[in-house]
Structure 1
Amino acid sequence: MRTIKLTIEYDGTNYSGWQIQPNGLAVQQVIEEALERLLGESVRLRSSGRTDAGVHARGMAAAFTTHRDLPLRAFVEGTNRFLPADIAIIDANEVRAGFKPIGDALAKHYRYTILLSPVRSPLHRFHAWQVKERLDLEAMGAALPAFEGRHDFAAFRASNCVAKTTVRRIDSVTMRQEDGFLFIDVVGEGFLKNMVRVMVGTLVDIGKGRFAPDHIAWLLQNRDRKKAGVTAPACGLCLMKVFYPPDGRDEDESIFQPAAF
């Protein structure tokens, strides 16, 4: 029995999220059906996490087991033949038996994209949050360091989040402006439901002058979701990469470093 790890890129616009669910088409379902057509056997993917409806991925990690003795390139090229244009297998690697895409992950890198423009962009409407108001980027930048470290992120999660603990480790939060866009990169061990989107929404409210930069530290201390900012739209969020230890698996040692632009 072989364990194959896939790196997957997808545009989440037309999907109800990653995970299979009763109502709506999920990315996981589409890939499992493509793998079944390729392999001639039923496959269940175990992923590195979930993405919500409308969220994208450049480096989702998922694994499955198979008896088929195909070359690794066949898992890429063969599966892609059966996938729609908005989903693609980018890479395939054989990993050790018992590999756990969630449990073995060291960190994940998410990127949020904001379009800084008073005029909407038809080309970017599904991949960026348009913010029309001028933002105080200096104030937003001053707020970023408060996120880093191990904190209770109860104020930065969805109301229906069912996580057993709200404590998470954030390794870095960086911000970069380029060609009319603002990119916010967050690297951490794991995330609560909507956590990055609430972080971004709160930063934008700081940029609008609604909160002072030190409000992030206050929220982490007081854990009050109602005092945090808006939940940024799903369309601007993208899972860039999942990091794993370089112990015979396929990742390099660039842990905690955001993926290149």
Structure 2
Amino acid sequence: LIHKMKQLSSIKEKIERILPEVIKPARYFGGELNVIRKDPEAQNIKVCLAFPDIYDIGQSYIGFYILYHILNKRAGTLCERTFAPWPDMEKIMLREGIPLWSLESFLPVSSFDVIGFTLQYELHYTTVLNMLDLAGIPFIANERDEKHPFIIGGGPCCANPEPVADFFDAFLLGDGEEAFPEMLDVIEKCGLKGMSKKDTLLELAAIESVYVPSLYRQVFSDDGSFTGMEPISEKAAYPVRSRV
């Protein structure tokens, strides 16, 4: 706990020191009206909602904040936010060794249990990878281990998640107001039981509208053309239908 508090203090102090060097510094420090602050150590599960664009764009997206308030009403849940930095801030973060952080508590994004990216359009894809890099999290899902957060994708682009399937542990297809809390229920329950990430993903796949890419394989015809996908686990639905 002392180590985590020192880490938190160090990140916040570094950010305070470099703010005069960047344009629009207010977008990196939080503190807006109606933000929710909780003691991270008193929660069972920590979730960071990540918008793969700058604060100026993401803060106006109402779906982001609907989920923010729904998840923070869930018992034992900390939900905070992070956004992509502008190039001037990114350059300084790399120079000073500052990892991507959450606006509310200045926690490293990599310290959360779950990171939920909203994919509003395809141009967000490269920004997702950049944010993972700034957080110190490996890009490829099968290169991440038990110490890394679950990386979950949601939003309109999840209607066709295959272009970025290698980077995500799971996708939530359709509306997340009910389904995302269901996913957290499973992750929290599995965590309390000491289950591995692989076994937890099997449980997540049983939820309606959740697509876990690692539980499917590509199918090709004799001439090498792609014919579709098929599940490799009984718990993996096919097709995965969008939640409405």
TM-score by length of structure 2 reads 0.28
Report which of the two has the higher share of helix.
Answer: 2
TM-score by length of structure 1 reads 0.26
Higher Rg: 1
Report which of the two has the higher share of strand.
Answer: 1
